[in-house]
């Protein structure tokens, strides 16, 4: 567990929870990223706060870079083909399941929603299985 970073993980996680609580207390909305992106794509109303949320999400690392603690480049050794398939599955799957790591994994579990607990268990198990196969069966 040489890469384990419990302190920064706890601070960052608490901020993610705080964001979800603020959005609910102030605007009465769920901080689910796939829903926010997906609803931005459909022609409905209420796009304003969603677009602003996504702008804030991208602005955070840019501000952090100015302050000297910006993110490292994302390590994505997969081929462009695999990356495209992965993106398609993430987009299609999260909208089909009406939620992702944030909407189900954090907001849904915090609401004690059995639906979200099942969704989280399923996407975690599927992801763990895929990593096992790609790293230890095919890539071994």
Beta carbon of residue 117, minimum distance to other proteins (angstroms, whole number): 9
Per-residue interface string for the shown chain with other proteins, residues 69-108, x marking contact by CB under 8 A: x-xxxxxx-x-x-xxxxxxxxxxxxxxxxxxxxxxxxxxx
47 phi and psi angles, rounded to 5 deg: -80, -25
Cβ atoms within 10 Å of 62's Cβ, excluding its own = 11
Beta carbon of residue 26, minimum distance to other proteins (angstroms, whole number): 5
Beta carbon of residue 106, minimum distance to other proteins (angstroms, whole number): 5
Q: Can you read off the two tokens belonging to residue 85?
A: 């398939």
* Contact with other proteins (CB under 8 A) among 1, 44, 68, 138: 1
Per-residue interface string for the shown chain with other proteins, residues 26-65, x marking contact by CB under 8 A: xxxxxxxxxx-xx--xx-----xxxxxxxxxxxxxxxxxx
How many residues line the site for other proteins (CB under 8 A)? 117
Is 138 a binder of other proteins (CB under 8 A)?
A: no
Kindly give the residue spans of alpha helices, DSSP state H, lying in the chain: 6-27, 33-41, 47-66, 80-96, 109-110, 114-132
Q: Can you read off the two tokens belonging to residue 99?
A: 């939620």
Q: Distance (Å, rounded) from C-alpha 88 to C-alpha 19?
A: 27
């Amino acid at each position: 567990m040489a890469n384990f970073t419990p302190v920064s993980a706890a601070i960052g996680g608490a901020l993610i929870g705080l964001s979800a609580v603020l959005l609910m207390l102030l605007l009465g909305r769920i901080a689910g990223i796939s829903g926010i992106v997906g609803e931005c794509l459909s022609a409905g109303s209420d796009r304003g706060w969603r677009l602003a949320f996504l702008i804030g999400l991208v602005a955070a690392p840019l501000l952090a870079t100015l302050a000297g603690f910006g993110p490292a480049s994302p390590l994505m050794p997969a081929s462009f083909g695999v990356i495209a398939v992965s993106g398609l599955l993430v987009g299609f799957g999260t909208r089909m399941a009406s939620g992702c790591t944030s909407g189900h994994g954090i907001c849904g579990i915090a609401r004690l929603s059995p639906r979200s607990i099942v969704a989280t268990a399923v996407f975690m198990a599927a992801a763990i299985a895929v990593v096992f196969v790609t790293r230890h069966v095919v890539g071994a």
